Amino acid sequence: MTRMRESAITEIHKKITEAFEVFDHECNKTVDVREIGTIIRSLGCCPSEGDLHDMIAEVEEEEPTGFIRLEKFLPMMTRVLTERRYRPIPEDILLRAFEVLDQNKCGHLTKDELVKYMTEEGEPFTQEEMEEMLSAAVDPETNNVRYKDYISMMVVDEN
């Protein structure tokens, strides 16, 4: 392994460990399994729920304890980051997706349309996810989602 690659891996390990430690409330190098999705997303990855379950299964103990140990999480997450898996969807693709849903081509969706699409199509949002999205996306005065504005808020900076 080259020095450059070793240095990059060291940086990735540091980033993963720091994100993990935010949720390691007991300071014993373990986190509640329910926090793993948040940790993974904080590292810039956007796995589907199915992929997230697979990732958790990979790092869980033989007899699940409800906790994930850093020593098992670190190699899996290092591999995910070095392979650049689960990258966020680019802004132009998000925009095209919203435009397909915007049948009237008016630049917005109503709150009801958004709820219908996000809870009945594809991988449905949970009630909590829907409420979180609506609180960020819906203009309280018009009850609409101006999706260009919402997309610019959502997009993850790759740097």
In tens digits, the chain (159 residues) has pLDDT values of: 566 678 889 999 999 999 999 999 999 999 999 999 999 999 989 998 899 999 999 999 888 899 999 999 999 999 999 999 998 888 899 999 999 999 999 999 999 999 999 998 888 888 888 998 899 899 999 999 999 988 888 775 554
The whole model's pTM is what?
0.69
Query: Which residues contact residue 86 at a Cβ distance below 8 angstroms, ignoring those fewer than 6 apart?
Result: 40, 45, 46, 47, 51, 80
- Bin 153: left if φ > 0, else alpha if -120 < ψ < 50, else beta: alpha
CATH architecture of 91-154: Orthogonal Bundle (1.10)
- Residue extent(s) of CATH 1.10.238.10 domains in the chain: 1-83, 91-154
Beta bridge partners, 77, equal none
Asked: is 1-83 a CATH 2.30.110.10 domain? The reply is no
